[in-house]
Amino acid sequence: MLQTLRNGRFLTFVFAVAFALLSTDQCTAQSDTTASGATSDATRENGDWTNVQKILNHRCVVCHSCYDAPCQLKLTSPAGLLRGASKEAVYHTERLKDAQTTRLGIDAQTVPGWRALGFYPVLPSSETTGEAGTVLERYLELGRQSPLKANAPVPTELGLSIDRPLACPTTQEFDAFSSANPKAGMPYATAPLNDIEYQMLMSWIQSGAPLPSAAPEIPENIQIQIAEWEAFLNASDLRHQLMGRYLYEHLFLARLHFPAGEPRQFFQLVRSASPPGSKIEIIATRRPFDDPGAEPFYYRL
């Protein structure tokens, strides 16, 4: 640890945590770069997603970005879109028991895993084959059919309070929902999408809503730093065990950035059932100080 302090990496790490921007994705690593060996199809898909993401960031994530986004639909990343939506409210003041946690990237790692937790699809999938459009598509169409008047107050039937009841209709329920709520299209209670934005989103959905297939690359210099930090955090002596636990319990919500890395590449400190050098297997506990189990665990980035 003294050597780490001498070379300044510990202080760099702590100050980077203090000043790093909070990431909108609950993922262990993020990057805007794509794999160098991507195929032309993958490049096209990434290009489509880049244009779609700009629209989502400009018009949608103001509501659909937080942990308690409406219907838990997070539109800040491909992982959130694939997870879909849920009818369960994150915050419920009358709840008597702990709710099932639904942290993106932590409580489930696959689409089937999210379906088991009650999430339903909003994009084209095998689960929606034969349906009259996806949830996202139907919401956009509803907003197009009944746009709000420009420079006029929001209709009173559109509730805007933070504790308003949410309908969260599935594809099968959308006809009844749209009939009862003709003004509840997306974007909700705001100016409609312009023609270019609407056509781009609808074209993307109707073409299968392709999402980036390439995993983000981690530069070699960052991989070296990650390996050094994981070795430090998982050292076996009591002093390092105490420091590892202290750092994890104080930084478990942080998004960590290496100054020499990509500007929008962040990492999260997690507890994993797998050791450094292997694929991370996150141990999903409700609190950072909850028992991780009897088996050995490792701090990973």
Residue 46: per-residue pLDDT: 58
Dist CA 84 CA 118 (whole Å): 10
Q: How many domains does the chain have?
A: 2
Exposure string for 143-154, b = 16+ CB within 10 A, e = fewer: beeeebeeeeee
Residue 132 lies in a domain: yes
Same domain, 177 and 76: yes
Nearest to 20 by CA among 301, 258, 245: 258
Same domain, 220 and 256: yes
Same domain, 192 and 47: yes
Residue 38 clears pLDDT 80, i.e. is over it: no
Look up residue 85 and give its DSSP letter: B
Residue 25: per-residue pLDDT: 40
- Residue that finishes a domain, picked among 176, 206, 236: 206
CA distances from 202 to 79, 133, 289 (A): 19, 10, 45
Same domain, 44 and 28: no
Which tens digit of pLDDT belongs to each residue from 146-155? 888 888 888 8
Same domain, 88 and 173: yes
Residue 247: per-residue pLDDT: 96
- Residue that finishes a domain, picked among 206, 239, 270: 206
- Residue that finishes a domain, picked among 177, 206, 235: 206
Same domain, 166 and 281: no
Same domain, 108 and 197: yes
Same domain, 81 and 127: yes
Residue 59 lies in a domain: yes
Complete DSSP assignment for 155-180: PTTS---TT-------TTTHHHHHHH
Which tens digit of pLDDT belongs to each residue from 103-136? 998 999 999 999 999 999 999 987 766 567 899 9
Domain containing 198 equals 40-206
Which tens digit of pLDDT belongs to each residue from 232-290? 999 999 999 999 999 999 999 999 999 888 888 899 999 999 999 999 999 999 999 99
Residue 166 clears pLDDT 90, i.e. is over it: no
